[in-house]
């Protein structure tokens, strides 16, 4: 009897198990947790993360280690978080894409007189400018929506913060000062659980980033691209990768050039104090203190618009000097025709990162300001360094360059930038003023002296297209019978004298003949440019008045470039004085005399002198 009952019980138990097993399997599938998905080394859009109505969004403040608004309390940065609901409901931890900016709460109006007047003699002070203020409307509890729809569906949390003295962040903007590096560092420290965050600007109720894996990547364009580099130079743990796009890596190189006071393209008369006014959108009650201590003291005393010399103030706002602690993998992006934040900004940092042995790549295109790498590149970069997926991105080509007729999404890979096959070719000048002189490899033709007369009212484009002009000197190669590929940094060494104790010196490298068909060309015939103060011929830290009639050797780099000059074109070296778009505008009339025998142009050409000679063969 007992045995029969036992047998029946075993059968019943087996039958129940058999019937319920498929049900349990189905049930386990319906309760499967959502996780990031990867294919071909890239994070994929996950349907469960895509519904924006289910995203969790909240604000908080992170305390820093500085007090820049003088209230005796450590400044707190305003932070906004957007994350998939699964980070709350399923305990999912995800890496962070972090964007910081001084622009999120608006900027000051561009009023007449808010930029410095550039119409004055060199070495003289300009008249005082006005100081517009930012009028911030509302409290903007959600800082920004940028990057959210790109990264949250792919399994990331997106974090934004307003930089010091902007929006609801406390403190003062310092335009490249230490606090603008330490502020994002503090946010990353919070994301990694090392310091507390708070629910309010002044309260004590804490917020924890329990949903963070402690892996952070940063990106952004222009000023927003500068901040990732600023954070990386602190060496903060947890910042694994950065993708700066057209970043300003040195405020001296943005507002000065080889001892010369120079404006960024399109913003004639802007300087570091103008940018301070432009972004200072923080607490109105703190602005008077911030203006007095930062703008009217620190910036005014350090910027030196009189001489344009490099000094300790500018050195402290040059991130190249702060690279030693940096550990983050670097994917740099820039346009070769960015005359606002010029391409040297990215190259100098990329080169330093490469020399440090960091994982780094550079993406260049042929357009102007901005322009991120293709999504595939960015996705692979963050997938590798934030999710830890071994996709081999660190073994990809170092340099990616969008060729002249290609789309931004279709860059050509190269082993390195500059092109490893490029070598320097020295070109010499032969007389031809006031039309065109020669530019070639034969030094014996470099004889005599030629003069130009400064006149700021004539644009560089007008000068380059003029058949004759007494306001510039133009030296051209023969027409090319083959394409010539320039890759790297061109350099000029000009032997000159001046009729005045101070003069601007401007150099353009152009492709001729000029396009006059009205079509918009990517390169607009300008290959690269450069500017210098002859008074700083020995050092950019200290200039000296020029003696009339005395010759000085002025040597400096032009902006880095990678461009293919098509057959049928010529390369032209144009030397002139004041550049209407970029330099101060002194009274016309200064004479510059160029000694051709001691003046050279060095071009980095793929294939070197052999390629150059082949391209001019038959002329």
* pLDDT digits 0-9 by tens, 289-300: 999 999 999 999
Q: Are the C-beta atoms of residues 269 and 117 closer than 8 Å to each other?
A: yes
Do 394 and 446 belong together in one domain? no
- Please name the helix (run of DSSP H) or strand (run of DSSP E) that holds residue 188, with its range, or none: helix 179-191
- Asked if 351 and 432 sit in the same domain, the reply is no
The predicted model scores a pTM of 0.93
**Which of 508, 489, 466 is closest to 563 using CA atoms?**
489
Ramachandran region, residue 34 (left: φ > 0; alpha: ψ -120 to 50; beta: rest): beta
More confident residue, 105 or 138: 105
Whether residue 521 has pLDDT greater than 60? no
Residue 329 has a pLDDT of: 98
Q: Do 361 and 476 sit in the same domain of this protein?
A: no
Asked whether residue 121 is assigned to any structural domain, the reply reads no
What pLDDT does residue 340 have?
98
Q: Do 285 and 138 share a structural domain?
A: yes
Please tell me whether residues 344 and 450 are part of one structural domain.
no
DSSP 413-481: EESSSS-TTEEEEEEEEE--TTS-EEEES-GGG--SEEEEE--TTS-HHHHHH-SS-SS-EEEEPPPPS
Work out whether strand 570-576 and strand 484-488 pair parallel, antiparallel, or are unpaired: unpaired
Asked if the structure places residue 17 within a domain, the reply is no
Q: What is the mean pLDDT of residues 598-605?
A: 98
In a domain, 235, yes or no: yes
Nearby residues of 226 by Cβ (< 8 Å), 6 or more positions away: 176, 220, 244, 247, 248, 249, 319
How far is CA 449 from each of CA 361, 590, 594, rounded to the nearest angstrom? Answer: 44, 16, 5
- Among 349, 379, 414, the domain-final residue is 414
Catalytic positions are 222, 338, 369
Show the tokens assigned to 275. 């940018």
| Same domain (yes/no): 298, 434 | no
pLDDT in tens, 259-277: 999 999 999 999 999 999 9
pLDDT for 557 equals 98
- Work out the average pLDDT over 96-120: 96
Among 299-313, 444-458, 509-523, the minimum mean pLDDT is found in 509-523
CATH code of the domain covering residue 395? 3.40.50.1820
pLDDT surpassing 60 at residue 11: no
Domain termination site, one of 386, 414, 442: 414
Q: How far apart are CA 434 and CA 447, in angstroms?
A: 16
Over residues 316-330, the mean pLDDT reads 98
Do 461 and 399 fall into the same domain? no
Q: Which band of pLDDT confidence, cut at 50, 70 and 90, is reported for residue 139?
A: low
Is 27 inside any structural domain? Answer: no
Q: Are 131 and 42 in contact (CB under 8 A)?
A: no
177 Cα distance to chain centroid: 17
Say if residues 165 and 290 touch (Cβ distance below 8 Å): yes
**Which of 391 and 9 is assigned the larger pLDDT?**
391
Q: Of 595, 402, 423, 608, which is closest to residue 497 (Cα–Cα)?
A: 595
Verify that 371 and 471 share a domain, yes or no.
Answer: no
Domain total of the chain: 2
Q: What is the pLDDT of residue 15?
A: 37
Q: What are phi and psi of 281, to 5 degrees?
A: -105, 10
Is 116 part of a structural domain of the chain? Answer: no
Q: What is the DSSP letter of 127?
A: P
- The average pLDDT across 218-231 equals 98
How far separated are the first and last CA of the chain, in Å rounded? Answer: 115
CA-based R_g, the chain, Å? 29
Q: Is residue 37 part of a domain?
A: no
8 Å CB contact between 195 and 184: no
> How far is CA 610 from each of CA 390, 421, 481, 513, rounded to the nearest angstrom?
42, 12, 13, 24
Q: Write out the residue range of the structural domain in which residue 202 sits.
A: 42-108+133-414
- Round to whole Å and give the CA distance between 128 and 46: 56
- Percentage of the chain beyond pLDDT 70 is 93
Q: How confident is the model at residue 17 (pLDDT cuts 50, 70, 90)?
A: very low
Residues 187 and 227 in one domain: yes
Let me know whether 306 and 438 are in one domain: no
Which residues, in sequence order, are bridge partners of residue 80?
59, 160
Please check whether residues 450 and 408 belong to one and the same domain: no
CATH code (residue 489): 2.60.120.260
Q: In the numeric block, which tokens belong to residue 487? A: 């890759």
Alpha helices in 287-409 (DSSP H): 287-290, 300-303, 312-315, 344-356, 375-386
DSSP structure class, residue 372: P
Each residue's pLDDT tens digit, 143-155: 888 899 999 999 9
Has residue 5 got a pLDDT over 70? no
In a domain, 124, yes or no: no
Shared-domain flag, residues 183 and 294: yes
Region 502-506: mean pLDDT is 98
Task: Choose the final residue of a domain: 392, 414, 436.
Answer: 414
Report d(CA 87, CA 211) in Å as an integer. Answer: 6
Domain assignment of residue 4, yes or no: no
Mean pLDDT score, 338-345? 98
The string of DSSP letters for 490-550 reads -EEEEEEEESSS---EEEEEEEES---SS---SSTTEEEEEEE-GGGSS-TT---PPPTT-
Give the pLDDT of residue 276: 98
Q: Tell me the C-alpha to C-alpha distance, in Å, between residue 378 and each of 48, 76, 332, 335, 430.
A: 22, 30, 10, 17, 48
């Amino acid at each position: 009897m007992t045995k029969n009952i036992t047998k029946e019980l075993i059968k019943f138990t087996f039958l129940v198990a058999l019937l319920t097993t498929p049900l349990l399997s189905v049930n386990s599938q319906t309760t499967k947790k959502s996780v990031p998905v990867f294919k071909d080394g890239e994070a994929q859009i996950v349907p469960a993360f895509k519904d924006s109505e289910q995203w969790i969004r909240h604000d908080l403040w992170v305390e820093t280690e500085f007090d820049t608004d003088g209230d005796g309390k450590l400044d707190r940065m305003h932070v906004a978080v957007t994350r998939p609901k699964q980070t709350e409901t399923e305990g999912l931890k995800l890496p962070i894409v972090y964007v910081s900016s001084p622009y999120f709460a608006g900027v000051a109006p561009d009023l007449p007189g808010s930029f410095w007047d550039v119409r004055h003699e060199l070495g003289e002070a300009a008249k005082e400018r006005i100081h517009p203020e930012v009028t911030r409307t509302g409290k903007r509890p959600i800082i920004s929506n940028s990057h959210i729809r790109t990264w949250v569906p792919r399994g990331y949390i997106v974090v934004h913060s307003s930089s010091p003295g902007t929006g609801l962040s406390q403190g003062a903007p310092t335009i490249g000062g230490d606090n603008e590096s330490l502020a994002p560092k503090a946010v990353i420290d919070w994301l990694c659980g090392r310091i507390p965050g708070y629910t309010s600007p002044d309260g004590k109720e804490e917020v924890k980033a329990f949903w963070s894996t402690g892996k952070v990547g940063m990106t952004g364009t222009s000023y927003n691209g500068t901040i990732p580099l600023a954070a990386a130079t602190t060496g903060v743990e947890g910042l694994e990768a950065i993708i700066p796009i057209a970043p300003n890596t040195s405020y001296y190189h943005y507002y000065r050039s080889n001892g010369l006071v120079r404006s960024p393209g399109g913003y004639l008369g802007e300087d570091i104090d103008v940018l301070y006014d432009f972004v200072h959108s923080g607490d109105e009650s703190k602005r008077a203190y911030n203006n007095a201590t930062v703008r009217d003291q620190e910036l005014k005393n350090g910027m030196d618009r009189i001489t344009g010399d490099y000094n300790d103030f500018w050195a402290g706002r040059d991130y190249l000097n702060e690279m030693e602690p940096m550990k983050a993998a670097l994917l740099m992006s820039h346009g070769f025709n960015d005359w606002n934040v010029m391409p040297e900004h990215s190259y100098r940092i990329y080169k330093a990162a490469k020399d440090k042995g960091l994982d780094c790549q550079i993406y260049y295109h042929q357009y102007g300001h901005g322009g991120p790498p293709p999504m595939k590149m960015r996705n692979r970069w963050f997938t590798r360094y934030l999710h830890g997926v071994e996709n081999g991105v660190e073994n990809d080509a170092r340099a990616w360059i969008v060729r002249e007729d290609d789309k931004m999404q279709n860059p050509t890979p190269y082993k390195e930038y500059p092109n490893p096959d490029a070598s320097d070719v020295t070109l010499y000048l032969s007389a031809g003023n006031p039309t065109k002189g020669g530019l070639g490899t034969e030094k014996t033709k470099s004889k005599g002296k030629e003069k130009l007369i400064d006149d700021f009212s004539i644009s560089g484009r007008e000068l380059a297209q003029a058949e004759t002009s007494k306001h510039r000197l133009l030296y051209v190669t023969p027409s090319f019978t083959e394409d010539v590929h320039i890759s790297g940094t061109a350099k000029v060494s000009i032997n000159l004298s001046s009729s005045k104790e101070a003069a601007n010196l401007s150099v353009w490298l152009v492709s001729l003949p000029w396009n006059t068909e009205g079509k918009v060309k990517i390169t607009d015939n300008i290959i690269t440019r450069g500017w210098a103060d002859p008074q700083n011929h020995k050092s950019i830290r200290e200039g000296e008045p020029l003696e009339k009639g005395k010759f000085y050797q002025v040597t400096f780099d032009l902006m880095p470039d990678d461009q293919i000059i098509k057959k049928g074109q010529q390369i032209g070296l144009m030397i002139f004085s004041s550049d209407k778009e970029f330099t101060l505008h002194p009274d016309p009339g200064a004479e510059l005399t160029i000694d051709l025998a001691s003046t050279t142009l060095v071009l980095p050409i793929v294939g070197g002198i052999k390629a150059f000679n082949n391209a001019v063969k038959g002329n």
